Amino acid sequence: MSAETLSLNLGPQHPSTHGVLRVVLELDGETVVDARPDIGFLHRGIEKLAENRTYHQVIVLTDRLDYLAALSNNLAYVLAVEKLMDVEVPRRACYVRAALAELQRIASHLFWLGTHAHDLGAMTPLFYALREREALMDIFETLSGSRLTPSFLRIGGLAADIDAGFVESVRTFTDTFQARVDEYETLLTENPIWKHRTRGVGVLDAGQCIRLGISGPMLRSAGLPLDLRRAQPYSCYDEFHFEIPTGEAGDVYDRYLVRIREMRESARIARQAVDGLPEGPWTAAGSPAVFPAKGELKRSIAGLIRHFGLVMEGMKPPAGEVYHAVESPRGELGFYIVSDGGPRPLRLKVRPPSFVNLQGLVKMIRGRLLADVVAVIGAVDIVLAEVDR
Amino acid sequence: MKLDALRARFGTALGEPATFRGETTLTVDRDSLVALCECLRDDEPLAFDFLADLCGVDRRPAAPRFEVVYHLYSVRHGHRLRVKVALGEEDPVIDSVTGVWETADWHERECFDLFGIRFRNHPDLRRILLPDDFEGHPLRKDFPLEGMDKP
């Protein structure tokens, strides 16, 4: 090794860092000797903002964390508040939530697949992946009026009931999706260039992942089938049949395989959820945490008062603290809420999987080539809005 | 979960375990924190090998003002535990647990950055989200929502 190394700034404005991530690389020729990730460029103080809003108002903030999987954030947050308030959510709402969370996982993985492959020089998968993602965005937009920030979940249930059109569009999507994934796989899975760029790159074994707190597809690609949907089921996940795909090598290629197979499983879950959709209420009407139905405001003074109270003051949860985590597309996404009995959280902490998973970056790229850095960053699948909050 | 053995070992340093909504919280004195964490990680029936999250809480105007909260998960057993340490306003210093769980590194830096809680024996304690020359710690309750530079 020569005595002199070259410092190179990768990011914060560089397409391969998937957002405003800056990594200061120490290079010896093309070999990475050391690396210092620099984050925080997208810090907006969301946790501070949440302390100054009522519990209902926080829902829209959660969309702005991991904006590629906003519904997963909505879900993790409302589940935590429902635990705090001890609200029983109707099964119909749970099924719709599960379907939405799985469609969101597919949308997120598709975006990851397209951009990750594009980083490594494969142009075509981007167009295919975004075509299917667009179909999902249409479903979200029809449902909620918004593509990236649906805020469709509410404490106690949903913002509105779903209609037959939603069920039909999910069926249409899942009917064709497995064949679409086959198409992506013909482009990459046995592609020798793809394998060369990804196999044996960025390896972390299961023990290292656990020590670093890494969860989600990165952990499963190292062979450990830990998935919170199975380990600590929420939102009726124990009623669906699905596999937990795992890899062996814990490298970039196995992370690719795991996410590809996860998309197939997610489509199966979403299909089961809409096919088995229970009839009944879609929100826990009557709970003090839930807004009364619109019609009730016109008919009963009690309903009007409750609505007014929830808007002007907010609800009053008991003093205490809860933590609830879900399996987001990136791993364990948790919300820790401390309540002092007031209408606003005393403290709201997000456990962001992107932030924790990114901590493994330096271990994965030290001693590797510069070109591998791009492959590794892509395979971590970070969203900087969630890393920085 | 068998927490009785711990109580025998740590005595008064360990508070009574509290349960709320099915979650167990353990409070511990800051001097016994690292020893407790090693026990929690290494004892076979507990095996808390995964530190899911670490964060600070500011309870101003209550005293003691700060808390550092650890969320633990056991991959082997699938159970969770919350450990809390209370810290006074005048001396918000606590031992780092980076030697127990490597993942604590960035979490502790974030807690230092946003709360000004210092972690002893941390390998690289500096700000992580905010610029190095930022003044103040924004998640403290006396830090105004609009920022320090507004009138």
Please report the ipTM that was assigned to this predicted complex.
Answer: 0.91
B57–A86: do the CB atoms touch at under 8 Å?
Answer: no
A325–B21: do the CB atoms touch at under 8 Å?
Answer: no
How many pairs of residues across A and B have Cβ atoms under 8 Å apart? Answer: 85
Top-level CATH class of B4-91?
alpha beta
Residue boundaries of the structural domains of chain A? 46-278+318-352
Question: Minimal Cα distance from A358: which residue of B?
Answer: B106
Q: Report pLDDT for B44.
A: 84
Q: Per residue in A240-254, pLDDT tens?
A: 999 999 999 999 999
pLDDT at residue A17 tops 90: no
Q: Report pLDDT for A285.
A: 84
Residue A157 bridge partners (DSSP): A154, A283
Q: What is the H or E stretch that residue A322 is in? A: strand A320-328
Q: Per residue in A133-156, pLDDT tens?
A: 999 999 999 999 999 999 999 998
User: What is chain A's mean pLDDT, rounded?
Assistant: 91
Pick from B25, B52, B102: CB nearest A332: B52
**The residue count for chain B:** 151
Q: Is residue B129 within 8 angstroms of chain A, CB to CB?
A: yes
Residue to mutate among B66, B73, B105, with most A CBs inside 10 A, is B73
Contacting residues of A for B75, CB less than 8 Å apart: 210, 224, 226
Pick from A47, A213, A320: CB nearest B103: A213
Q: In terms of pTM, does the model score above 0.80?
A: yes
Question: Minimal Cα distance from A207: which residue of B?
Answer: B49
CA distance B11 to chain A (A): 25
Per-residue pLDDT band for A268 (boundaries 50, 70, 90) equals very high
Q: Is residue B77 within 8 angstroms of chain A, CB to CB?
A: no
Q: Is residue B150 within 8 angstroms of chain A, CB to CB?
A: no
Across A75-99, average pLDDT: 93
Most distant CA pair in chain B: distance in Å? 56
Question: Minimal Cα distance from B126: which residue of A?
Answer: A38
Q: Find how far residue A200's CA is from the centre of its chain.
A: 26
Q: Per residue in A275-313, pLDDT tens?
A: 999 988 989 887 888 888 888 888 888 888 888 988 888
- Chain B residues 4-63 with a CB less than 8 Å from chain A: 20-21, 23, 25, 49-53, 55, 57-59
Residue reference for tokens 């404005």? A13
Contacting residues of A for B20, CB less than 8 Å apart: 320-322
Architecture per CATH, domain A46-278+318-352, reads as Orthogonal Bundle (1.10)
Q: Per residue in A307-328, pLDDT tens?
A: 898 888 888 899 999 999 999 9
Contacting residues of B for A211, CB less than 8 Å apart: 49, 101-103
Share of chain A above pLDDT 70, in %: 99
pLDDT at residue A1 tops 60: no
Sign of the Cα pseudo-torsion (A132, A134, A136, A139, in order): negative
Half-sphere exposure of A300 (CA within 13 A, CB side): 9
pLDDT tens digits in sequence order for chain B, 151 residues long:
677 778 777 877 787 888 888 899 999 988 889 989 998 898 888 889 999 999 999 998 888 999 999 999 999 888 999 999 999 888 899 999 999 999 999 999 999 999 999 999 999 999 999 998 988 899 999 888 887 776 5
Q: Buried b vs exposed e over A304-318: b needs ≥16 C-beta within 10 Å?
A: eebbeebeeebbebe
Strands of A320-328's sheet, edge to edge? A320-328, A331-339, A347-351
A40–B20: do the CB atoms touch at under 8 Å?
Answer: no
A interface with B, Cβ–Cβ below 8 Å: 39-40, 43, 45, 47-49, 52, 83-84, 86, 210-214, 224, 226, 231-232, 320-323, 325, 332, 334, 336, 338, 346-347, 349, 351, 355-356, 359, 388-389
Distance from C-alpha of A305 to C-alpha of B139, rounded to nearest angstrom: 34
Name the DSSP class of A291. Answer: P
Q: Per residue in A213-231, pLDDT tens?
A: 999 999 999 999 999 999 9
Residue A336 bridge partners (DSSP): A323, A349
CA distance B52 to chain A (A): 6
Across A51-56, average pLDDT: 92
Contacts of B81 (CB under 8 A, 6+ apart): B1, B24, B25, B26, B40, B46, B48, B71, B72
Q: Report pLDDT for B151.
A: 57
Q: Is residue B101 within 8 angstroms of chain A, CB to CB?
A: yes
pLDDT at residue A256 tops 90: yes
Sign of the Cα pseudo-torsion (A45, A50, A52, A56, in order): positive
pLDDT at residue A16 tops 80: no
Going by DSSP bridges, is the β-strand pair B80-87/B23-27 parallel, antiparallel, or unpaired? parallel
Amino acid, single-letter form, for residue B74 = S
Q: Per residue in A165-210, pLDDT tens?
A: 899 999 999 999 999 999 999 999 999 999 999 998 989 999 999 9
CB A17 within 8 A of CB A11: yes
